[in-house]
Every structure is written in C-alpha cells, then in structure tokens.
Amino acid sequence: MVVNSFIQSTRALLAKFGIDAPDIRIEGLTLDSRDVNTKTAFVAVKGHERDGRDFIPQAISLGARVILAQTDDSQAHGQMEMRDHSVIISLYQLPSMLSALAAAFYDYPALKMMTVAVTGTNGKTSTVQLLTQLKDALGTRSASVGTLGSSVYEGENTQWVTTAAANTTPNAIRLQYVLAEFVQCEVRHTAFEASSHALVQGRLSQVKTDIAVFTNLTRDHLDYHGTMEEYAKAKRLLLDQPGLEAVVLNVNDSESQNWADYLDANAAKDGSSEEIAISKPRVTRVWTGFEPTDDVLATHKQPQDRHCFATNVSYHSSGIRFDLVSSWGTAPIELALFGSFNVSNTLSAISCLLAQGERFENVVRVVNGLQPVPGRMEVFPVGGSASVIVDYAHTPDALEQVLKSAKTHTAGKVWCVFGCGGDRDKGKRPLMGAAAEQHADVIVITTDNSRSESPESIASDIKAGLQRPNDAVEEADRESAIRYCLDSADENDIIIVAGKGHEDYQIIGTQQTDYNERTVVARLQQEYKK
C-alpha cells in the first residue's frame, strides 16, 4: 500500500506550528536519510542511539528540498538556512513535535476509526491479534500494528508488512503513515501495541486512543528504563492518551490498581467544577481476571466499573473451556487455544468489544471461532511423537507462564528449548534459567539473538540460575536442539521452543541470517510424523 493523497505545502503544514516556511510541495516525511528523495522531507532529530542531524549532508546529496532539523536553541526556532538546493528549517523541541507533525501531514487518521492500544510486558501481540480477528468477524474492517508488523486483517490471506524487530510500535511518523494507509483501505478499527519505549518517546502522543488495555507488568527492558518503578510509570503514560473512553485492567496484576488510582486522581482534578465533570465523563474501567472472589467483586463496583471474568476454567488436549461471567451476560466459551494467559488475552479482547457496544451474544458467537496467533503458543502436533509449541516467550514471567500452561495440557513431560538475547538485560538470564528449571522436566539451552556476546557466556549466565546446572543440555544450534528433543521425547510430551516466535531471523555476531522457527518446526513436524 502507498499513501498517495497527502501532498502538502510546507507553508501550510508548518503554519500550524507557528512557522512561516517557503511554499514547497512534499509527499511524505521520513526519519531515515536513506529514504529521502526530492519529494520527501527529511526530519533530523537526535535519537536514543544516533543523531539524525549527522545525516543532513546525505539527505542533501539525495535531493531533499526540505530538511526539518532539531535545534537545542529556543531562539533558533523557525530559522532557515539554504544549503545547495535544500532549505533547512530549525525546530525547537522537534522530537516531541513528531507525532503532531505527522498527524497534521496525514490529516489525523486516528480520528477516522476506532482505536485500541494494548500495553503490558506480556500478551500485547496476542491481545491485539485476537481483538482484530474478532472485530473482523463481527463485520468491521480491521487492522493491527505491532510486533508482527502492520496489516489489514484478511483472515488466512493477511499479508504482514514486517517492521524492524526493535520497534514493537513504529516511530511517530511511520505510525501516522500506517494509519493513513488503513484509512485509504477503509479500515474502521485498529488495534496496536503500545511499547514502553514508544510511550516515553512520545510516538503516540497525537494518536487518538478510544480504549487502553493493560495486560500485566513483569521484568523487562530494565536496560532502558533502569528500574521497575520507571518501567511501570512508562506503561501508565497510556492513560494520558487523547480521546480515552475506556480502560481494560487485569485484576490479577497488582499494577492495575495503580492505573485505577491514576484515573481516580485525574477524575477528581477534572471534576473540580460541575461543568467540567458533566462535559468530561469518567473513563469506564473493565476489570478482567480469573475466578473472582466476593471481595474482588465488591472492590470493583464503582459506577464506572464493569467486569469480564473467567470461571470454571479447564484445560484439555485441544484447548480451553471456561464460563464467561460479565456485566453484559454469562456464557460458556470453548477456545482452540493453549495456555491460561490466552484466557487473559481473550478476556481483554472481549472486554474491548463489549465496551465498544458490541452485542454480547454476537461476541460470544465469534469468540468460539478464534484461531491461534502465529508464534504465540502455536501448537504443531507431530503424529506419533511429542507435540511442539512455538512461543515468543523471552522474559522470566512469560517463560514461566508458558511452561505452567503446557503442564495443564499434558500428562507427559514438558521439554523447554530456550536462550537469551545478547546485549540486553543480563539480569534476567539466571531468572529465565530458574523459571525453566522449576517448570520444565528437561531444559535445553540454545542460542537466541546473541549479537556481540558469545553464546557460551550467555549460556553460562543462564546456568547461574540453575540448582542443577549439570542436568541442562546445551546445544547452540536451534534446529539441532529441537531435533534432540524430538528424538528423546515420548508421544505424550510437549516441547516448548521459546524466544523466537514469529521472527524470521537470527542475529549472531554482526550477521543477521534467515531463521524462521515456525517454518523449521513445520518441516520437522512432517519429518518426524509416524
């Protein structure tokens, strides 16, 4: 897809930001100097790792007629300089302007659809994908943005536009562009993952968000945020999104109460006058969770509270059964999904639909047709041998939940193949090892994206968390590690292959090679079938 209807004059665009710019027609904005041409404005900002201003000469050589450059001098805001054929316009606090600038250029696409933002450590991708499936099944053209890429949902024919692995949420300009693409494709509902990085960096600041979803909070990204407190604060920034009408919270995660308290505090401030209180109603809170106690039900009975709980949950070899108990009605649910966390993800998706006003009976009807999300607890049955499950779990909590869930679906052993990424939070490596040892019967340590670190040193860090390090099997090659399990496991066992999920690459040293774990496992599924 190519957005082709947003040709703007820099004069008209920058006038919205108090700048009298020359009248130059442009067809797009980009943060990447490699994408520059004569019709694209290069936006040069200082990033977390690189300073875009260093690439201004490259942008000029590629024909950029307009360059918007960050300045640290407030007095230089709006100043212009000609270099060759390019005009360089200085903008003070440009990084914080990016979302507003891109929204203005692409004509505020989020205003033309219903939007749902999902944040949390685990479950973002699955919740977004399940919600998109359900909304489409209910007759609304839907799209999603996140770890799997960006795409309009077309069922089995969906073609994912892959984004960079480092960007769960696209940069501020790219996100507005993608939303504009969706508008041109007549999308009326978009669900997107809101990473903590994106929230801190303001990539979503001008994306109207109707519903926010919080899944859970466990250790991750401390190499960026430093502490769990700062990580939690970053997630809560989602509550400041413009247009927020409802929030879906997980009653089984204590951080959810901090979200509720934040909403209450803001409501108290906004309701300081009767006029404001009437014009700005309280945000609806939908609480999700398992087997609610009477205390839980009593706690969450404020006028703005709703609930969507699962009771009588049972697990079997083909999926999950539970009773849905909600403010909108009660019904039995049967899912062809694995894992207790998929009950949580499904509850979050259901809550969004009901908060949007979908009829309860229609939601129940389509929920029972949900399909697994690629690379998220995705089961590959191997006839006459152990089943293999591919999952993206790459945090201690995610791995623990995956392994515990696998136990509920089998009477046999659970095997775990996993590694840890290099040049990332080293503190979670022994925690990953401890989680694997506690909840799996056999663990096989393999290579993930080791990057600049040696696989051996990463494996050593993982084994530091083991009580019985000599019992762990080490096999650096991922396919060989999976083969080892298939050769050794019994028919009733489950083999969890964790860490790669949907990814189609592996980074070892400075080399990125093709590696699609789902494709590998599908091939082994046929090879080992008896």
Return the CATH fold of 106-296.
UDP-N-acetylmuramoyl-L-alanine:D-glutamate ligase (3.40.1190)
Question: Taking the complete model, does pTM exceed 0.85, yes or no?
Answer: no
Q: Note the CATH architecture for domain 8-97.
A: 3-Layer(aba) Sandwich (3.40)
DSSP conformational letter for 384: T
Model pLDDT, residue 281: 61
Q: Give the integer Cα–Cα distance in Å for 290 and 313.
A: 8
Cβ(402)–Cβ(376) below 8 Å: no
Q: Give the integer Cα–Cα distance in Å for 148 and 109.
A: 21
Q: How many residues does the chain have?
A: 530
Q: Give domain 378-528's CATH superfamily.
A: Mur ligase, C-terminal domain (3.90.190.20)
Model pLDDT, residue 228: 84
Give the annotated binding-site residues for ATP: 120-126
Cβ(235)–Cβ(199) below 8 Å: yes
Helix (H, G, I), strand (E, B) or coil at 46: strand
Model pLDDT, residue 161: 57
Number of DSSP helices (H) and strands (E) in the chain, helices first: 18, 25
Query: Which stretch of DSSP H or E encloses residue 320?
Result: strand 319-326
Domain-by-domain residue ranges, the chain?
8-97, 106-296, 378-528
Q: Which residues pair with 390 in a beta bridge?
A: 378, 497
Of the candidates 407, 376, 471, the one whose C-alpha atom is nearest the C-alpha of residue 433 is 471
Give the tokens for residue 39.
Answer: 């019709």
Helix (H, G, I), strand (E, B) or coil at 438: helix
Cβ(474)–Cβ(434) below 8 Å: no
pLDDT mean for each 10 residues of the chain (530 residues): 71 94 95 94 91 97 97 95 95 95 96 97 93 97 93 77 60 94 95 92 94 90 78 92 96 92 81 44 90 74 88 92 96 94 96 98 96 90 94 92 92 96 94 98 97 96 97 97 97 96 92 96 94
Model pLDDT, residue 296: 72
Q: Give the integer Cα–Cα distance in Å for 245 and 199.
A: 18
Of the candidates 392, 424, 381, the one whose C-alpha atom is nearest the C-alpha of residue 497 is 392
Model pLDDT, residue 374: 87
Q: Give the integer Cα–Cα distance in Å for 170 and 17.
A: 23
Amino acid at 54: D
CA 398 vs. chain centroid, Å, equals: 14
Give the annotated binding-site residues: 31, 33, 120-126, 167-169, 195, 201, 203
Q: Give the integer Cα–Cα distance in Å for 299 and 257.
A: 11
